[in-house]
Structure 1
Amino acid sequence: MGSRGICDKVAIVGMGCTTFGEHWNRSADDLLIDAVTQAVDSAHLTVGDIDAYWLGTMGSAGNSGLVLSRPMKLDYKPVTRVENMCASGSESLRNACYAVASGAFDVAMAIGVEKLKDTGFSGLVPTPVAGACDDGRGEATAPATFSLLAPAYAEKYGVDEDTLKDVLSRIAWKNHYNGARNPRAQYRKEVPIEKIKAAPLVAGMLGIFDCSGVSDGSAAAIVVRAEDAHRYTDKPIYIKGLSLVAGPAEGLVKSEYDFTTFPEVAASAADAYAQAGVTDPRGQIAMAEVHDCFTPTELVLIEDLGFSERGQAWKDVQAGVFDLDGELPVNPDGGLKAFGHPIGASGLRMMYEAWLQLRGEAPSERTITGLAEGRKLALTHNLGGGPGDCVSFVSVVGSEPSTG
């Protein structure tokens, strides 16, 4: 049985997002207070008006609801700390939305935070495989694991290495171009494509500019029942579909897995589209925020999400389909690549861009053509784990409730 979903039953009425970056002079408490304050102010609420909280963090900020209740001085409110690897922020939103849809609470907040720079964590830290199974997998860095996508894609679809390098570099160039127009992004400079291509290699074909950075940051969303939304804002964002799936983690031990897809992403996208009534993702969705932890990840995700036919995403990237002024802008805020990736906050950061764009509040230099042409939907995608061994979250949100 598929999920029934909560289409148009819940709306986002307030959001907040800090700048992402290396916040050496700000604590996790400072970041949480900033994001929460922005969110409640945008909905004309106080912290006392929030009935319950869901906090997403991988753990660099702490391991219980006290991470939030202590700095916010909450008076005996339920605070649930959730974690689902890099999809932790999205998991907090999913839980808050379903709690409101169930009738358990009237007003809930989802918040994500991470303070990675103080931990010394970097993208090159090995990630041990969970469990003690003897399946031939050792420890591998995240860049090494995701770098396997590039040669697999090139071989399967007959793309020569130089061409694929151009494609991956163009993805990085696009996201830096977008990030340069975002005052909250960690990296706010355009980078010439030739500089991207010539950057020192990190793993396989991946150079420095193919990898997202390490960041501190926080983001928050306030959700209510859809019928109550206009009590808080005249421009609510309606939840159309929310899907999170965990795969069987068999990709690395099954010979048929070829590293050119994330089956979990395809499954969660199909579920979210069914909930939202989306039958033509490329034609119906105005913009998408996807989990571009590495440039080949974005390339593969574009096909898993149905934005390009299998084996055709590389051509669409070169044609500018996913550029800021293209047919379907992908990562108009700069993505993980340029906005940054404080793990627990990333999923909500993606939703923050959808919030700005659908409400017509994004900076004019990041205006989405599809919205002006009448498309009303945005998508966010967030994953945790790696190829063949991950969880995937997809949301579809819209600026108007469905009619009929």
Structure 2
Amino acid sequence: MPSRGIRDKVAVVGMGCTRFGEHWNASADDLMLEAALAACTSAGMAADAVDAHWLSTLASGSSGLMLSRALRLPYRPVTRVENYCAGGSDALRNACYAVASGAYDTALAVGVEKLKDSGTSGLAAAEVPGDGTRPDLTAPAAFSLVAQAYGERYRPPSGALREALDRIAWKNHANGALNPRAHFRRAVPLDTIRAAPRVAGELGLFDCSGVSDGAAAALVVRAEDAYRYTDKPLFVKALALAAGPAAGPADPGYDFTSFPEVRHSAADAYRQAGISDPRTELALAEVHDCFTITELVLMEDLGFAEPGTAWRSVLAGEFDRDGVLPVNTDGGLKAFGHPIGASGLRMLFECWLQLRGETPEGAALTGNTAHRKLALTHNLGGGPGECLSFVSIVGSEPSE
């Protein structure tokens, strides 16, 4: 049974986000403190006055003691959550449900990851023992199968899919160049993207998101209390998490051209929020572009384009800052960076800035969506055929 939802019962009243990138001179605690204190300060609240906390990190710490020690909390509940790349979003989900239930008046969700010091170029996490049937693939290799399968199923004109993937990278780097908190703050010419070496299959260097350090945090309260903390709260409209049966790699019927978990979580979120046409109702969407092909397929799974047509929408500029529906206006995982435990909350931070009119100069929405009041975030955890998906929808106004 889908969630009944907590539409307009909870509001985000404070947010903080560090710069993402290579923080050789800062620890995970430093980053976590910066984001958490910024979120509380923006709402006029002392960090030690928050009732309960949820902390997301994949591999940079263990237990709630990581946060309570850093914040010197006076015996408050702190829960560490981990759900692959959707951990930050799940920390938010738990904090929101705790407040909506009436158990707490205020809750703080914090996400942090320190990846650059790990000595590896990917996720710094131990492999879980299995039965030997799981494919032994790197993340780029696994997602490269999506690009190959998509091309074989939908048959775009020769070179069109490659051109669409290049344009997604170009768009997200252009957006990241406007963002002072982004890891990669340089626009990249299409010719440079096209000439980049291949990493796996059709995926090249600029098709892959970066490995970053960073943290982000959100303070949530009951909706009726929101205006005590800020004159521009964001009201939570939907929180939807779907974990699939993880049978894709062994299922002959799975064709690697879609993420069923995304379709389920999106349908649940739209139902909770009362959205019938996301293309015309959302101001922006922050989605999990771990690879350019992921963003392209997500445009279809989230209902922004019909199956087999997203490549055409990308080339038409429909997901640009001034397009039909702007996607990843802060640069996305591709340019903003991807410190695993923080990424979901970073996406919410961009929605916070855009809907409140507080973006850096030149980074605001410029098209026909600027007047809309709703925004979406999407996280994907895992890989093709065996993942979980989170979708949130927030709005700058309560429902009538």
Bin of the TM-score, shorter chain as denominator length: over 0.9
Structure 1 partner of 2:117: 118
In structure 2, give the amino acid aligned to 1:240.
Answer: K
Question: How far off is 1:259 after superposition?
Answer: 0.7
Structure 1 partner of 2:221: 224
More displaced stretch, 308-317 vs 160-169: 160-169
Q: State how far apart, in whole Å, the 1-side matches of 2:4 and 2:207 are.
A: 38
Question: How far off is 1:139 after superposition?
Answer: 1.5
**Cα gap change, 1:257/1:372 in structure 2, threshold over 3 Å: closer, same or farther?**
closer
Q: State how far apart, in whole Å, the 2-side matches of 1:309 and 1:138 are.
A: 30
Is the 1:290–1:331 contact (alpha carbons within 8 Å) kept by the matching residues of 2? yes
Q: State how far apart, in whole Å, the 2-side matches of 1:373 and 1:339 are.
A: 22
In structure 1, give the amino acid aligned to 2:35.
Answer: A
Question: How far off is 1:363 after superposition?
Answer: 2.0
1:200-235 deviation line (CA, Å, top 9, x unaligned): 110001110000010000000000000000000000
Is the 2:242–2:265 contact (alpha carbons within 8 Å) kept by the matching residues of 1? yes
In structure 2, give the amino acid aligned to 1:104.
Answer: A
Question: How far off is 1:369 after superposition?
Answer: 3.6
1:83-103 deviation line (CA, Å, top 9, x unaligned): 000100001000000000000
1:137-171 deviation line (CA, Å, top 9, x unaligned): 33211000011111111111111452211110000
1:248 counterpart SS class: coil
1:112 counterpart SS class: strand
**Cα gap change, 1:70/1:124 in structure 2, threshold over 3 Å: closer, same or farther?**
closer
Q: State how far apart, in whole Å, the 2-side matches of 1:287 and 1:214 are.
A: 24
More displaced stretch, 66-75 vs 49-58: 66-75
Structure 2 partner of 1:133: 131
More displaced stretch, 213-222 vs 70-79: 70-79
Tell me if 1:313 matches 2:310.
yes
User: TM-score normalised to the size of structure 2?
Assistant: 0.98
Q: State how far apart, in whole Å, the 1-side matches of 2:219 and 2:195 are.
A: 43
Q: State how far apart, in whole Å, the 2-side matches of 1:213 and 1:161 are.
A: 29
Residue in structure 2 matching 1:378, options 375, 379, 400: 375
Question: How far off is 1:366 after superposition?
Answer: 1.6
2:159 counterpart SS class: helix
**Cα gap change, 1:32/1:167 in structure 2, threshold over 3 Å: closer, same or farther?**
same
User: TM-score normalised to the size of structure 1?
Assistant: 0.97
Percent identity of the aligned residues? Answer: 66
Matches within 5 A, 1:14-163: 14-59=14-59, 61-123=60-122, 128=127, 130-135=128-133, 137-160=134-157, 162-163=159-160
Question: How far off is 1:182 after superposition?
Answer: 0.2
How many residue pairs are counted as aligned between the two chains?
400
1:365 counterpart SS class: coil
Structure 1 partner of 2:243: 246
More displaced stretch, 69-78 vs 334-343: 69-78
Tell me if 1:210 matches 2:214.
no
Is the 1:154–1:160 contact (alpha carbons within 8 Å) kept by the matching residues of 2? no
In structure 1, give the amino acid aligned to 2:18.
Answer: T
Tell me if 1:388 matches 2:385.
yes
In structure 2, give the amino acid aligned to 1:363.
Answer: P
1:272-320 deviation line (CA, Å, top 9, x unaligned): 0000000001110110000000000000001000000111100000000
Structure 1 unpaired stretches of 5+ = none
Question: How far off is 1:374 after superposition?
Answer: 2.8
